[in-house]
Amino acid sequence: DGGITQSPKYLFRKEGQNVTLSCEQNLNHDAMYWYRQDPGQGLRLIYYSQIVNDFQKGDIAEGYSVSREKKESFPLTVTSAQKNPTAFYLCASSPLPRGANGELFFGEGSRLTVL
């Protein structure tokens, strides 16, 4: 079945460690996005990519890095520079142009907890 797969679903990290969250899609979508979700804060855009080997910062990119070496993959690294990394991370994808209704397709999320 086509869709977006995020892994791991749960991740624990010690302070000072970098971690990488995986996001893979087999929908043949051009664009991929990373959002961060905190209680009462909604979704905030971290990075997005509209084409392989290119990506743009979102509203809260500091302390994060991404790569887009393949169309189907958009991993997010949470670095030790991110001061409050504990959150729920959501990956999404969409075709470009974004189709008749502009829908984003979301993965199931990864919950990162820093100990």
Partner 1 sequence: GEDVEQSLFLSVREGDSSVINCTYTDSSSTYLYWYKQEPGAGLQLLTYIFSNMDMKQDQRLTVLLNKKDKHLSLRIADTQTGDSAIYFCAESLYSGNTPLVFGKGTRLSVIA
Residues that bind partner 1 (CB under 8 A): 4, 6, 31, 33, 35, 40-43, 45, 48, 50, 58, 90, 92, 96-99, 101-104, 106-109, 111
Closest to partner 1 by CB, 45 vs 67, is 45
Closest to partner 1 by CB, 81 vs 96, is 96
Closest to partner 1 by CB, 16 vs 97, is 97
Which DSSP state fits 93? Answer: E
CB of 69 to partner 1, least distance (A): 21
Q: How far apart are CA 111 and CA 23, in angstroms?
A: 13
Nearest one of 20, 39, 29 to 106, comparing CA atoms: 29
Q: How far apart are CA 39 and CA 41, in angstroms?
A: 5
